[in-house]
Structure 1
Amino acid sequence: MASGSGIALKTFNLANDIKDLNAQDEIFKFDPVENRRINNERPWARDPRYFQVCKISAVALIKMAIHARSGVPYEIMGIMQGKVVGRSLVVIDSFALPVQGTETRVNAQNEANEYMVQYVQGSEQVSRLENAIGWYHSHPGYGCWLSGIDVNTQMQNQKFQDPFVAVVIDPNRTISAGKVDIGAFRTYPENYTPADSGSSEYQSIPLNKIEDFGVHANQYYPLEVQIFKSSLDSELLGLLWNKYWVNTLSQSALISNRAYAANQLSDLHQKLTKAQTSLPSTRPPAPILIDEKAVIKQKPQDKNQESALSKAVKDSDKIASEAQHGLIAQVLKDIIFSSRLGAGSGAAAASVGDIVDTAMSIG
């Protein structure tokens, strides 16, 4: 777990912002009567966008994030247990599946399916009655979205064991960004065309994944991800903090994630090269005569060409920002924990203030 301690404590910091812990304890109670009623009514069968929120417990998120980080550079896969509350899918717990993943895909075979059935049956024997509410897997370094294989998998899950949600975690971007990079998705029914396929928030997609991302983008929609924790979760997170805070402070995102950073720079170079070759010539157009007046007709700009360059600029900003944050973290650690002889506390405090001011200006 040492390799995943950093990602665990990033989850701890995220969940630590949640208020009213005792009020969250109620969400862990499982009501069999209410569960039977909502599954009999099945309102999600009539509304393709019925579910809007995916609520994930802090402990389940930590287990998923550590599992995702342990598999880098390969994809991993697991199952989530939970229930339906209104228009929300609530994830109470999660467990890993014994699957063999590659750098681009992961599929559950017969062994994983048998393991899942046995795990759920074992949970029922110890009075853990939550249903299998979804599956999670990782995209190491290329963002949270659904590929063609993921879309087909989720469609099959929604067809035979709905309600079901797909969660994607990017462990590499989590380390670089300093926060858990996660997304929750549900697919539309087959042959369904969404009324409005509005543009979602921009995310950096590697050049070799852009086509797969664009082809299937209108076959699913994202859910808002909310993290919650109970008083028991707080105790568990506190134990994790006490055990792994030294490992977390001693790690450097610039070192542990250097392969991902190098791949990001290589991908950015390819995107800039492609954008440069596709831009039109800068030579001014020749004037033409209209009603005996010389008029210069401007060629309409290609939106795809313009967006390719602007997206590459956004990607470069993201890479630079993540590198700056990593450097600032290292400088702060050096100032706080590596006090030099002869350096007064006043000088150290001034240095910390300068670094914080720099970080604020960058952010």
Structure 2
Amino acid sequence: MPLDPLPLNDCIYIYDEKYQKKQLNKKTWKEDPCYFKSVHISLVALMKMMIHCWSGNSIEVMGLMQGKIYEDKMIVMDAFCLPVEGTETRVNAQAEAYEYMVTYQDIIKQVNRPENIIGWYHSHPGYGSWLSGIDVETQLQNQKYQDPFLAIVIDPIRTVLTRKIDLGAFRTYPINYKPDILQQNYHEVIPSDKIEDFDVHSHKYYALKVNYFKSSLDSHILWLLLSKYWFKTLTLSSSFMNKEYLPSKLLNLSERINSIQQLLEKDESDNFSSTSHFCTQQSYVHEKKKDDVLYKIINDINDLANKEIHRISTQILKNKLFNMF
């Protein structure tokens, strides 16, 4: 986990109401669409979100985060789930969720949790942490009416498989805003049925650097848990817990390879039958698009292969370690 550049002590948990009001009144983020550069998530909030997302299995779930701001940083102190379920890349809060949200905020104030709602999170089980078209529209509305607001996407399946937190934090650009440099918001394998949705909207938001922090009490509790359950890390197999993940990714890559192969064969046939071979701007753009698609497929194949090699190597190491006598 990346270390938090903020002071690593319990002072971060103190809520300075005067400072927060001053920052909210200044609204510096209105002047710079990329004002917020990083997000800092507490261990408690991270565990709550991860457990909630994992409990949804293949169904998308959604929740909200409480926190505060410090200069160009967004700090997530806590999180709570909402009674919302979605499918694929569509998850929206309904009337029941809004009622629950209001009730929760009223009750949480009674136990001295003054932080405001600072963002929302939801899961993308098995297809990565990025914003779909529906997510972009939701985040745009949130930033318009209750900024500062953050969107977090979690892939619980990839988190378990890779033993690395697959979490992305995003904010959308204002409508009609064109960034000077287009940011690559995601580098993992995206299913073929969602690539178009990703490509169409990927330029409408940017990713924030993600850091995590914990209190002294969190550190003590975490050490006690690791001392008791450390052996489970060695005995559990991530691939066994998600048997369908690897076959689905291989099938997805196969479909994409077949698709680009058909496109190449069609172009070759067209060029052979064509009497003119002059290079036009249109043909150049078409070739560039094919190259980009091929480049993405090759990168995705390499990424999946490296992860599988790492998984198999880990299993071999475990086998030698525990069966050497």
Q: TM-score, normalised by structure 1?
A: 0.80
**Corresponding letter in the other structure for 2:176:** N
Corresponding residue number in structure 1 for 2:118: 133
Of 117, 123, 128 in structure 2, the residue corresponding to residue 143 of structure 1 is: 128
Of 195, 207, 217 in structure 2, the residue corresponding to residue 232 of structure 1 is: 217
Corresponding residue number in structure 1 for 2:40: 55
**Corresponding letter in the other structure for 1:223:** L
The verdict on how the C-alpha distance between 1:23 and 1:199 changes in structure 2, with shifts beyond 3 A counting, is closer
Of 41, 62, 68 in structure 1, the residue corresponding to residue 26 of structure 2 is: 41
State the alpha-carbon separation in 2 of the partners of residues 64 and 236 from structure 1: 18
State the alpha-carbon separation in 2 of the partners of residues 101 and 199 from structure 1: 26
Shift of 1:36: 0.9
Corresponding residue number in structure 1 for 2:268: 281
C-alpha contact (below 8 Å) 2:3/2:211 kept by paired residues: no
Shift of 1:312: 1.2
The verdict on how the C-alpha distance between 1:199 and 1:106 changes in structure 2, with shifts beyond 3 A counting, is closer
Shift of 1:297: 7.9
C-alpha contact (below 8 Å) 1:22/1:231 kept by paired residues: no
**Corresponding letter in the other structure for 1:165:** L
Shift of 1:197: 2.5
State the alpha-carbon separation in 1 of the partners of residues 36 and 143 from structure 2: 12
Shift of 1:236: 2.8
C-alpha contact (below 8 Å) 1:254/1:323 kept by paired residues: no
Shift of 1:305: 1.2
C-alpha contact (below 8 Å) 1:18/1:229 kept by paired residues: no
**Per-residue displacement from partner, 1:109-162 (whole Å, max 9, x unpaired)?**
121122222222222111111111111111111111111111111111112211
Shift of 1:55: 0.9
The verdict on how the C-alpha distance between 1:139 and 1:201 changes in structure 2, with shifts beyond 3 A counting, is closer
4+ residue stretches of structure 1 with deviation over 6 A? 19-22, 282-286, 296-299
Shift of 1:77: 0.8
Please tell me whether residue 327 in structure 1 is matched to residue 309 in structure 2: no
State the alpha-carbon separation in 2 of the partners of residues 89 and 196 from structure 1: 22
C-alpha contact (below 8 Å) 2:183/2:206 kept by paired residues: no
**Corresponding letter in the other structure for 1:317:** N
The verdict on how the C-alpha distance between 1:39 and 1:271 changes in structure 2, with shifts beyond 3 A counting, is same
C-alpha contact (below 8 Å) 1:21/1:230 kept by paired residues: no
**Corresponding letter in the other structure for 1:34:** Y
Shift of 1:247: 3.3
Corresponding residue number in structure 1 for 2:145: 160
Aligned to 1:99, the other structure's residue is in SS state strand
**Corresponding letter in the other structure for 1:47:** D
Aligned to 1:23, the other structure's residue is in SS state coil
1:1-363 mapped onto 2 (5 Å cutoff): 14=1, 18=3, 23-200=8-185, 202-279=187-264, 280-281=267-268, 302-340=287-325
Aligned to 1:154, the other structure's residue is in SS state helix
**Per-residue displacement from partner, 1:40-99 (whole Å, max 9, x unpaired)?**
111112221111111111221122122211212111111111100000100111111111
Aligned to 1:221, the other structure's residue is in SS state strand
Residue ranges of structure 1 left out of the alignment (5+ in a row): 1-13, 289-295, 341-363
Q: Taking every aligned residue pair, what percent have the same amino acid on both sides?
A: 46
Aligned to 1:157, the other structure's residue is in SS state helix
State the alpha-carbon separation in 2 of the partners of residues 51 and 21 from structure 1: 15
Aligned residue pair count:
317
Q: TM-score, normalised by structure 2?
A: 0.89
The verdict on how the C-alpha distance between 1:246 and 1:70 changes in structure 2, with shifts beyond 3 A counting, is farther
Aligned to 1:281, the other structure's residue is in SS state helix
Residue ranges of structure 2 left out of the alignment (5+ in a row): none
**Corresponding letter in the other structure for 1:277:** Q
Task: Say which one has the larger Rg.
Answer: 1
State the alpha-carbon separation in 1 of the partners of residues 4 and 168 from structure 2: 22
The verdict on how the C-alpha distance between 1:59 and 1:21 changes in structure 2, with shifts beyond 3 A counting, is farther
